[in-house]
């Protein structure tokens, strides 16, 4: 291979992620020219409704997968939290990179913490998972939809449309906006989305030479953790409509996984913790424990 093309969304964060992978590939394979193919996706264009109501997280990856299927691109770089639990037939995740800080962050010009915010103060988020966990602990706050890329969301905060917003730490750090973080939400306060903070590199499964080349970009421990987290989502239906959090860490060679499912208003939350060596088994066990506590009924209540 003398040339590789990376399909990527056009947002500054997506371009940062693609350029990060581009740089690593060029270092590993100096004889290969690595180019970017920036694209707009339906997820970037539909900004007036929740993702689950518009078609799910696949809206951020479908156009990139089409470009690979048609031969216009060789690989795509995704934020793993945006990748559906099930990939379309013929595609594979060739690598999952070492994870950035997986936590959520509070960004506000007025308040240093959620606990400081008065009743009816407005918190912006595009995520049912984040909104539910905010309301679980702070039911007097008002959670409103906030879509758009990171810079757009911060600009809406700065215009006074929200009192605070909740974003992924990883995105803020990668864009050089870590100084905007007023507080880091602990994993107990806001359990992250499956895969949050990790990058995934996707390509056609039939491209065995490319799969082998891309494998060097991966981090083994992160990949095991993300596989366990995604297994929870897959077992519970795999939709981004799920207000579901899942986060795994490696401890002494074993996976330790925490997961939760919440109603959109935060009034019903079920949690599970499982451990083991096999990521799919650990994730499936967590999903079963959540089901035994009523997760299915909670998920069916999501409007």
Active site residues: 82
Alpha-carbon distance of 191 to 248, in angstroms, equals: 10
Alpha-carbon distance of 95 to 122, in angstroms, equals: 38
CB 8 within 8 A of CB 77: yes
Give φ, ψ of 223 to 5 degrees: -60, -40
| DSSP H helices in 99-252 | 128-137, 150-158, 169-174, 208-214, 220-235
Give φ, ψ of 199 to 5 degrees: -100, 140
Beta bridge partners of 165: 107, 124
- Running DSSP on this structure, what letter comes out for residue 97? P
CB 61 within 8 A of CB 84: yes
Q: Which of 197, 191, 211 is nearest to 272 (CA)?
A: 191
With helix as H, strand as E and coil as C, how does 98-139 read? CCCCCCEEEECCCCCCHHHCCCCCEEEECCHHHHHHHHHHCC
């Amino acid at each position: 291979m003398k040339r590789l093309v990376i399909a990527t969304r056009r947002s500054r964060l997506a371009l940062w992620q693609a350029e990060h992978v581009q740089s690593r590939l060029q270092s590993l394979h100096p004889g290969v020219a690595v180019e970017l193919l920036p694209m707009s996706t339906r997820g970037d264009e539909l900004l007036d409704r929740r993702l689950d109501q518009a078609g799910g997280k696949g809206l951020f990856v479908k156009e990139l997968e089409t470009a690979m299927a048609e031969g216009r691109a060789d690989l795509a770089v995704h934020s793993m939290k945006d990748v559906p639990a099930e990939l379309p037939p013929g595609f594979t995740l060739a690598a999952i990179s070492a994870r950035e800080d997986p936590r959520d962050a509070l960004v506000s010009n007025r308040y240093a913490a959620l606990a400081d915010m008065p009743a009816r103060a407005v918190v912006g988020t595009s995520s049912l998972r984040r909104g539910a966990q905010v309301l679980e602990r702070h039911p007097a706050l008002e959670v409103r939809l906030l879509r758009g890329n990171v810079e757009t969301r911060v600009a809406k905060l700065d215009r006074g449309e929200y009192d605070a917003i909740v974003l992924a730490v990883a995105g803020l750090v990668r864009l050089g906006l870590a100084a905007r973080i007023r507080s880091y939400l602990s994993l107990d306060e806001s359990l992250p989305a499956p895969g949050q903070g990790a990058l995934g590199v996707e390509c056609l499964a039939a491209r065995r030479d490319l799969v082998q080349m891309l494998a060097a970009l991966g981090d083994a421990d992160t990949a095991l953790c993300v596989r366990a987290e995604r297994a929870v989502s897959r077992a519970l239906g795999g939709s981004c409509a799920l207000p579901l959090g899942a986060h795994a860490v490696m401890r002494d060679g074993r996976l330790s996984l925490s997961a939760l499912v919440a109603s959109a208003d935060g009034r019903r939350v079920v949690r599970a913790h499982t451990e083991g060596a096999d990521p799919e088994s650990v994730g499936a066990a967590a999903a079963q424990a959540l089901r035994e506590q009523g997760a299915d009924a909670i998920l069916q209540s999501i409007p």
